[in-house]
Amino acid sequence: MASLRSLKDDWLLDCYADAVRLQLDPTFIRLLRNEIHRRLDDPVFRRTWFVLSGR
């Protein structure tokens, strides 16, 4: 199984948005969210996340 770390940033965010919208398995959503939180140390990713998440 491929690691979530290998996903491009935009794919990760799209995947997370789709998973939430489609109400997929909460464990899968939590894995995506954990990877998003891990990447928040990157200022470019953090800016993109805040814009897309409406924060």
CA–CA–CA angle 37, 1, 6 (5° rounding): 45
Can you give the pLDDT at residue 55?
A: 60
Residue ranges per structural domain of the chain: 4-54
pLDDT digits (tens, 9 = 90+) for 6-50: 888 989 999 999 999 999 999 999 999 999 999 999 999 999 888
Largest CA distance in the chain: 32
- The reported pLDDT for the residue numbered 50 is 85
Residue 2 — very low, low, confident or very high, per pLDDT cuts 50/70/90?
A: low
Cα–Cα dist 37/39, whole Å: 5
CA–CA distance, 14 with 19 (Å, rounded to integer): 8
Position 28 scores a pLDDT of 96
pLDDT at 1: 45
pTM recorded for the entire structure: 0.80
